[in-house]
Amino acid sequence: MSEAENTDNKEFCTMAAVTVTGKGNISVKPDLIDLGLNILTKDKDCGNAMDKAGSALEELRSILVSCGFEGDDLKTSDFSVRTEYETVPDENGNYRNVFKGYCCTHALHVSFPMDTQRLADVLGRISSSEAAPEISVRFTVSDPESAREELINLSAADARKKAELLCKASGASLGKLLRISYDRHDVNTYSQTGYGMDVNCLRASAKAVSIAPDDIKLTDSAEFEWEIN
């Protein structure tokens, strides 16, 4: 008998399996304030624009040190220098680009444990400074990795529970784990609560506002496949 005939006569058995998607959902209480400070300086001379940004940075760092921070607590998240042009018409009605100068952007942030009074003090001092940065306030968690690990554990437990229920309903039993499919993605660990105060209000008063930011809602999922006995 030829090898081909031998192969045709063999009996093939398809393994039974169950594939489920496990999901994890948790709510985390914010315990960290992330203060964003965006310095924007402009000048016809590139060096002058950068010098202005440097002076503003040193002023902000000095203010933070006076508020109890360390000098290196202020971190850079982005830095860029670009040219700016303005489109204007000439005497014939034709438009052309006119050089306006250089724009230097320095995005910074500093994080500290939840303390609304300290936040108000810092904002009050910064708002009256010459640096005049754009300010943003966000609430997050100090240990995002623990939250991600908890989500993974919940996803795995959820998947196994579903698989066991499916097997029980069909009169089968769950066998060995065959496959796990997990595409890790960035989890947004920031509260949806906004915090905004007009600069003039900040200059007038550094009074703290007692707020309780919304819990951070996190979700994740993974796919599991088990053999069925």
Same domain, 48 and 135: yes
Same domain, 128 and 191: no
Same domain, 37 and 129: yes
Helix axis angle, 46-66 relative to 116-127, nearest 10°?
Answer: 140
| The last residue of a domain, from among 140, 155, 177 | 140
Domain encompassing residue 187: 1-31+142-229
Same domain, 185 and 214: yes
**Predicted TM-score (pTM) of this structure:** 0.77
| The last residue of a domain, from among 140, 175, 191 | 140
CATH of the domain at 105: 3.30.70.2970
Same domain, 23 and 63: no
Which tokens hold the place of 97? 């680009």
Same domain, 62 and 158: no
Same domain, 159 and 221: yes
Count of structural domains within the chain: 2
Q: pLDDT tens for the chain, 229 residues: list them.
A: 445 555 454 444 567 999 999 999 999 999 999 999 999 999 999 999 999 999 999 999 999 999 999 989 999 999 999 999 999 888 887 888 899 999 999 999 999 999 988 888 898 888 888 888 999 999 999 999 999 999 999 999 999 999 999 999 999 999 999 999 998 777 889 999 988 766 666 666 556 567 889 999 999 999 999 999 9
Same domain, 85 and 146: no
| The last residue of a domain, from among 101, 120, 140 | 140
Coarse DSSP helix, strand, coil percentages of the chain, rounded to the nearest 5 percent: 35, 40, 30
Q: What angle is formed at CA 119 by the lines to CA 66 and CA 144, rounded to 5 degrees? A: 110
Q: How many residues are recorded in the chain?
A: 229
Same domain, 120 and 60: yes
Same domain, 146 and 185: yes
Query: Torsion angle of alpha carbons 170, 176, 177, 178, nearest 10°?
Result: -100
Same domain, 123 and 183: no
